[in-house]
Every structure is written in structure tokens, then in C-alpha cells.
Amino acid sequence: MRQRTSYRAASTVLALAAGIVHADVPQMGGGMSHLLVSVFNQQVFVNFESPAMSIVELQEGSENFEGSASVLDGTGHNSQFGWLANGFISLPPSSGVFVRVLETSTHLSVYSEFGYDPILGTNGSSTVWQWGGAMTHNWYASDVMGPHHVSYEVFVGDLLGNPIDGWTSGTVDLSFSYGTDLSDRIGTRGSVSTQTIPAPGSLGVLCGLVFAGRRRR
């Protein structure tokens, strides 16, 4: 009887531990899809390490993330896309590599990898974000099902985020799928937004620079 009681207690502890892990740590959503950034002859190039992974799926997850990760509660989210230096990048003094939003789906949000801070136009944040040079997998999220996309310009700028004359920028397009295709109902920022259908997770709310070479995790 004592052994059986100990076994049940241990099982309960393991189950609770598993639940805590599930609640605390949002899942990336799949294998890494790196956006390789290169600079050659004062021109920025951005390419997919694996072109077949230029579109990823937003994953519906737990709605009990703790702390700053709770911004992902009730959304489909994904962090497979990651910025990665493609070799050594040499920049002029007092400069950096920046990412600027050119166009984005109305209902797509972006948050920093570890702090879950709104970036790249999310919640009124700047549409320009400085990449620090290390491999970085920001979070993308939406509470609206359907396809989503974002287009970025990647450029070399001064420390205020202003492009430096004589340097040519690169561009990259990221795409996301999330449940049912509602492409005829999802607009882009700056255009007239049409009717959308929230994800199931949000219905409850409605109702009640020295850059290192290529690094891998």
C-alpha cells in the first residue's frame, strides 16, 4: 500500500511538472527557418537557408503562458523564422543592421524573442528594429485565422536607424498559414480592413555590430 501511494504521488508530481512546462514555454512551431543576411560590396542580401520553408504555420497553443509570454495567449504563434549572419559582416563605425516593415497583414503581431516586447509596428512600436547580429527568432502571432504575410527591408543604418547613403538594402517576404483560408477577408495595414473571424482561442474574450559567422543553436 505504501509503495502504491508513493507511485501515485510521484505520478502526480510528474503530471504537474509537465503542465507547468507546457504553460511556461511557447513552442517554436517546427524546425528553424533561417533568414541568411549577407553584406557584400555595400549591399545587403537576405536569402532563405531553406527556400521550402518560406511559409510556416501559426500553432494554436496553451492560453496559460506565464509572465511576458502571456501576450501569446489565445493566438496562433510561431518563431521558426530566425535572423542569422551568413558569414562575417563588416560595417562602418557607429552603424548597424536594421529591419523595416514595408507591408504586413493587419492582424499579424511581432514580439521579441526573449522579452516578448512588441516590435516592428506591433502595438504602436517603431516599424524599424535593430538586429543585434546573433541568431534571433522573434515571435509572430495572430488571433485571426487565414494566411498572413509581412515584407521587410533590411538595411545598414546609423545608430538612429537612418539608412546610410551608398549602401543598398535587401528585402525578404515571410508568409504564415493559420487554419481556414480567409484571404478574401484579411487586409493589410494602411488599407481598409474587412470583416475577419477570430481564432477559437479569442472567442472567450469576445464573449465574456561585429557579427559572428553563422551560428546555430
Across all residues in the chain, what is the average pLDDT?
Answer: 81
Question: In the block, which residue shows the cell 496553451?
Answer: 62
pLDDT at 25: 82
Q: Please indicate, yes or no, if residue 217 is contained in any of the structural domains.
A: no
Q: Please indicate, yes or no, if residue 65 is contained in any of the structural domains.
A: yes
Q: Please indicate, yes or no, if residue 214 is contained in any of the structural domains.
A: no
pLDDT at 23: 53
How many domains in the chain? 1
pLDDT at 1: 42
pLDDT at 190: 43
Residues 112, 55: Cα–Cα separation, whole Å = 19
* Residue 10: other Cβ atoms inside 10 A: 10
pLDDT at 159: 93
**Could you tell me the pTM of the whole model?**
0.75
Q: Please indicate, yes or no, if residue 188 is contained in any of the structural domains.
A: yes
- Residue 137 is classified by DSSP as -
Phi, psi values for residue 173, rounded to 5°: -115, 130
Q: Supply 132's cell numbers.
A: 543585434
Q: Please indicate, yes or no, if residue 184 is contained in any of the structural domains.
A: yes
- Domain span at residue 94? 28-207
Q: Please indicate, yes or no, if residue 159 is contained in any of the structural domains.
A: yes
Q: Please indicate, yes or no, if residue 14 is contained in any of the structural domains.
A: no
The answer to whether 3 and 50 are in contact (CB under 8 A) is no
Q: Which residues of 80-101 are buried (b: 16+ CB within 10 A; e: fewer)?
A: bbbbbbbeebebeeeebbbbbb
Phi, psi values for residue 185, rounded to 5°: -120, -5
Strand partners, 15: none
Give, in order, the Cα–Cα distances in Å from 56 to each of 16, 24, 89, 134. 31, 22, 28, 22
Phi, psi values for residue 169, rounded to 5°: -85, 165
Tell me which residues of the chain have a pLDDT lower than 50. Answer: 1-22, 188-198, 200-217
Q: Supply 33's cell numbers.
A: 527557418
Phi, psi values for residue 204, rounded to 5°: -65, -35
Q: Please indicate, yes or no, if residue 213 is contained in any of the structural domains.
A: no
pLDDT at 62: 75
Give the chain's end-to-end CA distance (angstroms, integer): 47
* Residue 46: other Cβ atoms inside 10 A: 19
pLDDT at 181: 63
Listed in sequence order, the DSSP H helices in the chain are: 2-24, 200-207
